Amino acid sequence: MATTAQFHLSFPVTDLDATERWYVDGLGCQRGRRSHEALVLGLGGHQLVAHLEPLALAPQRGVYPRHFGLVLAEPEELANLEERARAQGLHFGAQPRLRYPGSALEHRSFFLIDPSSNWLEFKHYRHKEAILGASNLQLVGEKTDPSPTD
C-alpha cells in the first residue's frame, strides 16, 4: 500500500507539562493543539497524541513489548538526534549500538524513555530494503535487548 498519508499514534502519559517539555524542548517535536487531557505533537512529520492517564501504568523493564519511534533516512540524522538527546539530558533506555552487523538488517539504534516511561527507538538502516523488505529473513528484534541504563 503506497500512500502519502501521515501516521498517527496515541499513547498514555501521566503529566502533560512534563510530556510537552520532553517532546518539544528536549526531542524537538512540533507542538500542536493542547487541552487539559491531551497534547498533539509532530514527530518526523507524523502525528502523536499524548493522552493524560492519571493512573500510572506499570513501567516496562526493557524495550519490549511496546515502543515507537522513527527510522531515519540518513546516518547523520541519527547522530544529530543522539547529540541533541544527550545535550538535553534525555534518559537513554539503551545506548546507541550497531545491531545485526554485517547482515542485510544492519542498523544503528538507540532508545529513549520519556517521563511517563514510554520507550522510543530511533534507528538508521544501512540497507534501505531492510526497512520493509528482506521478508526472507526472520530476525525481528531481540528479546535479549538491554534493560534500562542508569
- For 92, residues 6+ apart whose C-beta sits below 8 A from its C-beta are 85, 110, 111, 112, 113, 149
What would the mean pLDDT of 102-115 be, rounded to a whole number? 93
pTM above 0.95, yes or no: no
Query: How much is the mean pLDDT over the chain?
Result: 88
What would the mean pLDDT of 6-15 be, rounded to a whole number? 93
84-107: pLDDT as tens digits: 999 999 999 999 999 989 988 889
